[in-house]
A and B are shown apart, each in its own frame.
Chain A
């Protein structure tokens, strides 16, 4: 089991270093960092001094190692556009994105699993069929269209919910939260629905097909023969055995939660990291782009590790025989 965790950690480190390398190479391809930082009137001597000061006169591998060292401490330099340290800019935006992503993931998982189980148990029911058809439509709709549709119905026509921003937020130490005020909570509803929708349809379809598979297996038949009530069979015996693939996909999907957060945040003018990244790309703000890339890779690595650990919790066989696992 220890070797299993260690291998996951090692793979994660390789991914992180590779991504850091890509992020670092961007500085070479996009613009001239010295030209970005000095004014028009700077003399050649000024430029040379800055080049030396930034360490840009050193060989590429040394520069990369310095970048790695700084990145590990969360130092990605100064944003070209905002003139402030990237770490500070990102820390300010982080709470908005984390609240949005976590709430959508919870929404998608809870509703997705419930609907998936229902669609599997009442396989030929009217509601189950309607839900399945709707889910296919949901997979096809681009995220930004769902967002625009929700805004049109709930903000423009019905005027029930706000269509942009986070509403009122409360400061708790370094963290700003929208969870404690009425307008903050109202502002969360539409973005969370938009961001969670795709994940929901995916999880639901997966749970349904896995459930149908498990319900056919021998141990379910024996459980029925023992006279165990249907509810217990469905939720304790069957659902538990569908969880491994569901956790895998849900974990892998966290990457797309971040991706769709870029889109969702733009639609709802949500002041999070995704909107920051979109702006950074448009203005070629390389330090912010690089930091965001490394951040996404870091989240991915952590989630993958958590997924691997979740396997251990869900499947006792992995704990008993670590060498046979995988």
Chain B
């Protein structure tokens, strides 16, 4: 009995956040998996070069004044005919591929992150409301989710993108198009968050702490956001990671189909769309390097998501 009395105060002491992180199961499983560490390194590297694109790239690919048509279709430096400073060659407008990829990566990542943030906010909000209140609200939200699941996300994104653009008119500046992309990607991915959060909330809301919070008269909004939400966020994190990869793929696909970012401010998908036209004339580098960048980025994020899912799944521990 006296042993227990001694140990309680010790565990009650909370170590700092850093110490808790390095002591956790999550960190242990991270250190065990070399593939995961490599994926994390690659992902961070991609984020870093995207942030530093302005410093790293020899050219501003969005500035038409810096493009020389004389420099068009130069092969990569190590091929015969390659010219400095165009390490990865140039496209048909004389745009340096390396610069275009770095800036394009930035756009792909921005659209991906904003799209995930938008869909997660929407999905978590609707899921909380549906799970907490139940009844007719729940039925309406979940039936909408069911109907939306009928359609693949890419189709919905394509459709919303087309409808919004035809309402706004044809002459849109690149930043508006970026906004439309975020909006359409966000609207096509909220269902999974809503379903997951709703399920967890329905379990959580019957627990004693929620009853206690109700008893002391807290408003429903406070209970949902301050007390229930933190307890249902674990699975959301996993979905968000995997959806980041999906959102990036969706943006790239829309841009590839010609419904995404314009040629004047290309994302990785737009670059691949441009390069695809030169596949048969032998200028393989215009499509290959953006393609490799996109594939590596998505693979790295997917590997992280897979690991996170397994590491947070108590059944697999």
Residue ranges of A at the interface with B (Cβ–Cβ < 8 Å): 14-15, 18-19, 22, 26, 29-31, 136-137, 139-145, 148-149, 151-152, 156, 163, 255-256, 258-260, 262-263, 266-267, 277-278, 280-282, 284, 289, 293, 296-297, 300
Looking at the complex, which one of B143, B245, B272, B279 makes contact with A156 (CB distance below 8 Å)? B279
For residue A145, which residues in chain B have a CB less than 8 angstroms away from its CB?
Answer: 272, 291, 294-295
Q: Is B83 an interface residue (CB 8 A)?
A: no
Contact B259 A142 (CB under 8 A): no
- Contact bitstring B218-251, A, C-beta under 8 A = 1, else 0: 0000000000000000000000000001000100
B204 → A minimal CB distance (Å): 26
> A136-B302, A148-B291 are contacts. A281–B159 as well, Cβ < 8 Å?
yes
- Within residues 252 to 285 of chain B, which ones have a CB less than 8 A from any CB in chain A? 252-253, 256-259, 272, 276, 279-280, 284
List, sorted by A's number, 17 A–B pairs whose CB atoms are closer than 8 Å.
Answer: A30-B163, A136-B302, A141-B299, A142-B249, A142-B253, A152-B284, A262-B158, A263-B256, A277-B155, A278-B258, A281-B161, A281-B259, A282-B162, A284-B162, A293-B159, A297-B151, A300-B151
Q: Which residues of A contact B252 (CB under 8 A)?
A: 142, 144
* B302 A140 Cβ-Cβ under 8 A: yes
Cα distance, A30 to B167, chains bound together (Å): 6
Instruction: List residues of B whose CB falls within 8 A of some A CB.
Output: 143, 146-147, 150-155, 158-159, 161-163, 166-167, 245, 249, 252-253, 256-259, 272, 276, 279-280, 284, 287, 291, 294-295, 298-299, 302-303, 306
The 4 closest A-B pairs by CB, nearest first: A259-B152, A281-B162, A284-B166, A140-B299
Q: Contacts of B163 on A, CB cut-off 8 Å?
A: 26, 29-30
Instruction: Check B276 against A29 for contact (C-beta < 8 Å).
Output: no
* Minimum Cβ distance to chain B for residue A126 (Å): 18
How far is B161's CA from A77's CA once the two chains are assembled, in angstroms? 23
* Nearest CB on A from B52, distance (A): 25
Hey, which chain A residues are within 8 Å of B295, CB to CB?
Answer: 140-142, 145
If A148-B291, A163-B280 are given as contacts, then 5 extra A-B residue pairs at C-beta distance below 8 Å, sorted by A number, are A136-B299, A137-B299, A148-B279, A258-B152, A263-B257
Are A30 and B155 closer than 8 Å at their CB atoms?
Answer: no
Give the residues in chain A near B143, CB-CB below 8 Å.
Answer: 14, 18
The distance from the CB of A190 to the nearest CB of chain B, in whole angstroms, is: 13
Distance from B86 Cβ to chain A, minimum over Cβ atoms (Å): 22
Tell me the smallest distance from the CB of B117 to a CB of chain A, in Å.
Answer: 22
Shortest B168–chain A CB gap in Å is 11
Q: How far is the CB of A196 from chain B (nearest CB, A)?
A: 16
For B163, B299, B302, the residue with the greatest tally of chain A CB atoms inside 10 Å of its CB is B163
Which secondary structure characterizes the binding site on chain B? helix
Assembled-state Cα–Cα distance A22/B160 (Å): 11
Q: Contact: A144 with B147, CB < 8 Å?
A: no
Tell me the complex Cα distance, A254–B272, Å: 27
**Chain B residue at minimum C-beta to C-beta distance from A141:** B295
Q: Is the CB of A262 within 8 A of B280?
A: no
A19 B280 Cβ-Cβ under 8 A = no
Taking CB as reference atom, which chain B residue is nearest A22?
A: B147
Query: Given the complex, which residues of B lie within 8 Å of A297, measured CB to CB?
Result: 150-151
Tell me the nearest residue of chain B to A31, going by C-beta.
Answer: B166
Residues on the A chain within 8 Å of B150, using CB: 15, 19, 255, 296-297, 300
Q: Which of B147, B158, B276, B306 contacts A281 (CB 8 A)?
A: B158
B245 partner residues in chain A, CB cutoff 8 A: 140
Are B257 and A136 neighbours in the complex by a CB distance under 8 Å? no
Does A263 contact B253, Cβ atoms closer than 8 Å? yes
Contacts of B280 in A (CB 8 A): 156, 163
Contact present for B253 and A144 (CB under 8 Å):
yes
The answer on a CB contact under 8 Å between B154 and A259 is yes
Task: Kindly report which residue of chain A lies nearest to residue B250, judged by CB atoms.
Answer: A142
B159 touches A256 (CB 8 A): no
Complex contacts, B166 vs chain A, CB 8 Å = 30-31, 284
Instruction: Report whether A282 and B259 are in contact in the complex, using a CB–CB cutoff of 8 Å.
Output: yes
Q: Are A142 and B294 in contact (CB under 8 A)?
A: yes
User: In whole Å, how far is A10's beta carbon from the nearest beta carbon of chain B?
Assistant: 13
Closest partner residue, chain B, to A296 (CB atom) = B151
Please report the C-alpha to C-alpha distance between residue A263 and residue B162 in the assembled complex, in whole angstroms: 16
Asked if B159 and A289 sit within 8 Å, CB to CB, the answer is yes
Residues of B within 8 A of A19 (CB): 147, 150
Residues of A within 8 A of B302 (CB): 136, 139-140
Residues of B within 8 A of A300 (CB): 150-151
**Are B257 and A148 in contact, with the CB atoms below 8 A?**
no
Q: Note all chain B residues with C-beta closer than 8 A to A14.
A: 143
- Interface pair B155/A259, CB less than 8 Å apart: yes
Which B residues touch A151, using CB under 8 A?
279
Query: In the complex, A284→B299 CA distance in Å?
Result: 34
Cα–Cα, bound, A280→B257 (Å): 12
Known: A281-B259, A282-B258. A142 touches B159 (CB 8 A): no
Q: How far is the CA of A300 from the CA of B272 in the complex (A)?
A: 31
Chain A residues in 8 Å Cβ range of B249: 142
In the complex, A152 Cα to B259 Cα: how many Å? Answer: 24
Picked from B154, B279, B298, the residue with its CB within 8 Å of the CB of A152 is B279
Measured CB to CB, the closest approach of chain B to A42, in angstroms, equals: 21
For the complex, give the distance between the alpha carbons of A260 and B154 in Å.
8
Q: Which residues of B contact A260 (CB under 8 A)?
A: 152, 154
How many Å from the CB of B61 to the closest CB on chain A? 21
- In angstroms, how far is the closest chain A Cβ from the Cβ of B280? 6
The closest CB in chain A to the CB of B155 belongs to A259
Least CB distance, A288 to chain B, in whole angstroms:
11
Bound CA–CA A124/B228 (angstroms) = 43
Cβ–Cβ < 8 Å partners of A141 in chain B: 295, 298-299
| Residues of chain B contacted by A266 (CB below 8 angstroms) | 256-257
CB distance from A61 to the nearest CB of B (A): 19
Contact between chains at B257 and A278 (CB < 8 Å): yes
For the complex formed, measure the closest distance between the CB of B304 and the CB atoms of chain A, giving whole angstroms: 11
Residue of A nearest to B287 (CB): A148
A138 to chain B, nearest CB (A): 10
